[in-house]
């Protein structure tokens, strides 16, 4: 009998139930899309922010030594301190090596340019797209990965050549273009491209690292190393000093992709080095990610609130139209629990139907957001399905509670007489 009452309710009030079902479906669909994107957005946002450049820098440990003179902290000039290029592939052996997108060593060298307009210039040695090997792994790394905003008119030099790039400001001052030659420290070198970065590199000569090391006379020398890594935004735990952590806390910190923990592992991999965050990049990443997730949360709550209001209006109208039925049930001996159970059963069925349809629609919307905004696939985790069904049930019950409460308190005498 109970099941027939529920069935007849849906059969006789198709429009009301359809309206409530659509409201639930839309609210749950938006919630599904926002939750799916929010849970899968971290790495994608981090990859987008990698277009801002590297977020970690590694320098010789000697650069961190402080000298205090007259109460003023000074860092000593340590141009003679270098990292060893042979240690760089060890980065691929760190715990979070899969999160490291790329790295680029830098070695600035002061050189003589045989030109009337520029006798002295800075030559910056680096990797462009250098092939390296660590164990059985072969990979490419360099500024073409870590500095994606560098634009070259012409071609990129080969890392095993002696060709160079000329910064656009320096090229304009010297009157040189791609294809010309330039004499650096008495040796001719071909200019294969003109580099534009919007930074100091526009006034420099950019060359393969081996050429800079040869000019400096220090094979294997690296002055600093820029690393681009996918990281997790900092929280209070991330900022704790690892020296104060013990046991499980240390393991949790070490095995979390915080910028600080990845920097710590870089120091372990590269002897006599100091790694730290480039704060502006790391903090911007956390701020952007937090704000986007906050916006998604607000959109989700607004959609669910609107859905609950729509369900409330639909259920209130449906119960008002069925007040005679409720009065008859009470007159025949039905208790408040039985009446409430009938309407909650209807609400539960609506929630489950709307939840399933909304989950399917929200999954499609999440995938469309992933393709159009992040140019990648949003992964819908299976555990999200029961969570969405639970949200649908909670929203539907919240929207129906007031109307059902009125139905339970309805006086059968007035109801059967057609009075509210």
What pTM was computed for the model? 0.63
Q: 236, 256, 277 — which closes off a domain?
A: 277
Q: Does residue 242 lie within any of the structural domains?
A: yes
Residues 242 and 125 in one domain: yes
Q: 277, 304, 339 — which closes off a domain?
A: 277
Residues 168 and 89 in one domain: yes
Residue 334: pLDDT band with limits 50, 70, 90: low
Residue 17's domain spans which residues? 2-46+288-417
> Which one has a higher pLDDT value, 166 or 81?
166
Residues 27 and 155 in one domain: no
Residues 266 and 347 in one domain: no
> Which one has a higher pLDDT value, 280 or 29?
29
pLDDT at residue 415 greater than cutoff 80: no
Residue 319: pLDDT band with limits 50, 70, 90: confident
Residues 36 and 106 in one domain: no
Q: Does residue 282 lie within any of the structural domains?
A: no
Residues 207 and 158 in one domain: yes
Q: Does residue 283 lie within any of the structural domains?
A: no
Residues 239 and 331 in one domain: no
Q: To the nearest whole number, what is the mean pLDDT of the chain?
A: 82
Residues 378 and 412 in one domain: yes
Average pLDDT rounded to a whole number, residues 262-291 = 79
Task: Give the pLDDT score at 401.
Answer: 84
> Which one has a higher pLDDT value, 88 or 284?
88
In the numeric block, the tokens 């790394």 are attached to 141
Residue 203, number of CB atoms within 10 A of its CB? 16
Residues 249 and 378 in one domain: no
Longest dimension (CA), the chain: 109
Question: What's the rounded Cα separation, in Å, for the pair 309 and 396?
Answer: 9
pLDDT at residue 308 greater than cutoff 50: yes
Q: In the numeric block, which tokens belong to residue 370?
A: 């992933």
Residues 39 and 127 in one domain: no
Q: 277, 305, 339 — which closes off a domain?
A: 277
Residues 28 and 60 in one domain: no
Q: Does residue 138 lie within any of the structural domains?
A: yes
pLDDT at residue 413 greater than cutoff 70: no
Residues 27 and 105 in one domain: no
Average pLDDT rounded to a whole number, residues 266-281 = 84
> How many distinct structural domains can be found in the chain?
2
* C-alpha dist (Å) from residue 75 to 65, 68, 69, 72, 109: 6, 9, 10, 10, 20
């Amino acid at each position: 009998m109970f099941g027939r009452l529920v069935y007849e309710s849906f059969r006789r009030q198709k429009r009301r139930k359809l309206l409530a079902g659509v409201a639930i479906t839309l609210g749950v669909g938006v919630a599904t899309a926002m939750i799916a994107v929010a849970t899968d957005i971290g790495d994608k946002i981090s990859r987008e922010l990698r277009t801002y450049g590297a977020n970690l820098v590694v320098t010789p440990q000697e650069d961190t030594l402080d000298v205090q003179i007259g109460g003023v902290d000074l860092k000593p000039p340590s141009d003679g301190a270098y990292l060893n290029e042979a240690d760089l592939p060890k980065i691929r052996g760190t715990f979070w090596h899969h999160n490291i997108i790329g790295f680029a060593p830098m070695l600035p060298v002061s050189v003589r340019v045989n030109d009337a307009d520029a006798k002295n210039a800075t030559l910056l040695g680096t990797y462009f797209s250098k092939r390296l090997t660590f164990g059985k792994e072969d990979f490419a790394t360099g500024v073409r990965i870590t500095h994606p905003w560098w634009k070259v008119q012409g071609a990129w030099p080969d890392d095993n050549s002696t060709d160079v790039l000329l910064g656009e400001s320096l090229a304009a001052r010297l009157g040189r273009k791609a294809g010309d030659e330039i004499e650096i420290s008495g040796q001719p070198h071909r200019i294969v491209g003109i580099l534009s970065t919007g930074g100091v590199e526009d006034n420099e000569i950019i060359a393969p690292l081996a050429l800079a090391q040869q000019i400096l006379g220090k094979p294997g020398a690296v002055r600093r190393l820029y690393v681009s890594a996918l990281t997790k935004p900092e929280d209070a735990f991330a900022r704790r000093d690892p020296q104060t952590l013990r046991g499980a806390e240390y393991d949790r910190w070490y095995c979390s992709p915080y910028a600080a923990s990845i920097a710590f592992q870089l120091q372990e991999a590269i002897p006599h080095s100091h790694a730290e965050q480039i704060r502006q990049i790391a903090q911007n990443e956390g701020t952007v990610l937090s704000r986007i997730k906050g916006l998604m949360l607000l959109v989700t709550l607004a959609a669910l609130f609107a859905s609950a209001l729509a369900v409330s209006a639909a259920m209130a109208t449906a119960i008002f139209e069925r007040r005679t039925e409720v009065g008859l049930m009470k007159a025949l001996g039905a208790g408040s629990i039985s009446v409430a159970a009938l309407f909650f059963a209807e609400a539960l069925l609506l929630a489950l139907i709307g939840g399933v349809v909304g989950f399917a629609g929200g999954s499609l919307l999440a995938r469309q957001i992933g393709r159009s905004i992040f140019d990648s696939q949003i992964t819908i985790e299976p555990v999200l399905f029961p969570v969405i069904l639970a949200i649908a049930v909670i929203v539907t019950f919240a929207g129906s509670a007031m109307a059902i409460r009125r139905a339970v308190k309805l006086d059968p005498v007035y109801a059967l007489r057609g009075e509210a």
